Amino acid sequence: MLTLNFNPFPILLSERLRFRRLTDNDVNEVFELRSNPETMKYIPRPLATNHDDAYSHIKMINANLDANTNINWAITEKEDDKCIGIIGFYRTQPENFRTEIGYIISPQYKNKGYATEAVNNLLDYAFKELNFNSIEAVIDPRNLPSEKVLLKNGFVKEGHFVENHFYNETFLDSAIYTLLNRNFKKLA
């Protein structure tokens, strides 16, 4: 079984981005991310309605981190400490050397290649440092930009589940993408 230890917190760097621990100082940015209907369009979770919702989200992320069960990072540009997104691993299965990646980027930072760069950097860390064998991503099949990020990073679509999720009085489909350690390639 895989043993995870996120203490000390791993601060990561990529070509243009820095990945650090989320703190209460990020509450405004987390609120902006999670209260924006456009950003949350394909994420079946309630919109944040106030800053307490954002604080609760940060608290939940850090509780999972402190328990060494899951890890999330605030995404920042290297020259600015402002949180522009969140990326991390959820639903980790140490007994199967498997985890799920999830990410969200502020709309004003989209179309810069940041999501592709962030995902690739975290995959490198997950496979080389954390020793995962497989990483999956579960997305809404209508989320074509996210699918593009996954495909650029070598993920393979393994399944499309029709109306397998009920949220907000609607049945939603899920697409499952997976990447194995042996198939991972660090992007140049």
**What are the residue ranges spanned by the domains of the chain?**
12-138
Q: pLDDT at position 188, please?
A: 73
Q: Which of 137, 40, 121 is nearest to 76 (CA)?
A: 121
Burial 42-66 (b: 16+ CB within 10 A, else e): bbeeeebeeeebbbebbeebbebbe
Structure confidence at residue 37 as a pLDDT band (50, 70, 90): very high
pTM above 0.75, yes or no: yes
Strands 98-105 and 134-139: parallel
- Please write the tens of the pLDDT for every residue from 97-126: 999 999 999 999 999 999 999 999 999 999
CATH architecture for the domain at 12-138: 3-Layer(aba) Sandwich (3.40)
Q: State the Cα–Cα distance between residues 78 and 80, nearest whole angstrom.
A: 6
